[in-house]
Amino acid sequence: LISYQNLNQNYYEENGADKVEVTVKNISDVSSVSDDITKMGYGTTSIQSMIKDVKSTFTVVNAVLAVIGIIIVFVASIGVINTMTMAIYERTRSIGIMKALGCSRGDIRRLFIVESAAIGFIGGLIGVVFSLINTQIIK
């Protein structure tokens, strides 16, 4: 070990050294050694701090992707609602005929709910297939 002044004078000023690598025997000493070096006025980087930074970056990316996913589901829901509303307006006659044949409001409602669920399910399957294809293309 050499003193901080000797290190600065002998290596950095004469030889142009710009970094020093310090290895500790026990991994639990990393934070205390890093703090001591920081107190001397030098910047430090450790594998532990890099891992922490990467984890926080992944957390942010996951949060952003979750928000994007929520927005996509919201927009898709609006699309399904729009499609079903138009289907109801276009089938006014069919609904009247079903009522004349004895179908209850609940039966007609169930018919439209099943139809909208089928449209949503098929649309979801198509979306999954396209996303898997795009994932393979991007790889």
| Per-residue pLDDT tens digits for 67-97 | 999 999 899 889 888 988 898 888 889 999 9
User: Long-range pairs for 125-131 at CB < 8 Å and ≥24 separation?
Assistant: none
CA 47, CA 53: separation in Å to the nearest integer? 10
Angle, to 10 degrees, between the axis of helix 47-90 and the axis of helix 92-100?
70
* Signed CA dihedral, 19, 25, 30, 32: sign only: negative
Question: Which structure tokens are listed for 71?
Answer: 């927005």
Q: What is the pLDDT of residues 24-50, one digit of tens each?
A: 888 888 888 888 888 888 788 888 888
Q: Would the pTM count as exceeding 0.85?
A: no
Q: Which amino acid is at 68?
A: I
